[in-house]
Amino acid sequence: MNQLPRNLDKNLLYVLHHGLGEIRNLALSAGNEQIADLADALEILPGILDHWEEDRLELIRCVLKTYEEKYPGRAFNYLAGVEQHDPPDRF
């Protein structure tokens, strides 16, 4: 197994944290298709962390970019969350 890039594990956990909050809020407002799309984008992250390969970062970027392009104007930028070098200490 290859070495994860610096802070990527914490960045992906931060992205999951925001994604789960967004899913909850969408569920409360019945955004069913967007909930499914966001869940599809996020569900691959734990497996990728568990079995890291160098080409996986590009897959993560592609999946999150596709979601963001379909649903512009959200408060959280998932792709930027992955790219951040210093995620918050607590989230």
Q: pLDDT tens digit string along 51-83?
A: 889 899 999 999 999 999 999 998 889 999 888
pLDDT at residue 1 greater than cutoff 80: no
How many domains does the chain divide into? 1
* Cα angle value 72/41/57 (rounded, 5°): 100
Q: Is residue 1 in a domain?
A: no
Q: Is residue 88 in a domain?
A: no
| Range of the structural domain that residue 32 is part of | 8-83
Give 74's contacts (C-beta < 8 A, 6+ positions apart): 22, 68
Q: Is residue 28 in a domain?
A: yes
Structure tokens at 50: 């568990």
Q: Is residue 21 in a domain?
A: yes
Q: What is the pLDDT of residue 42?
A: 92
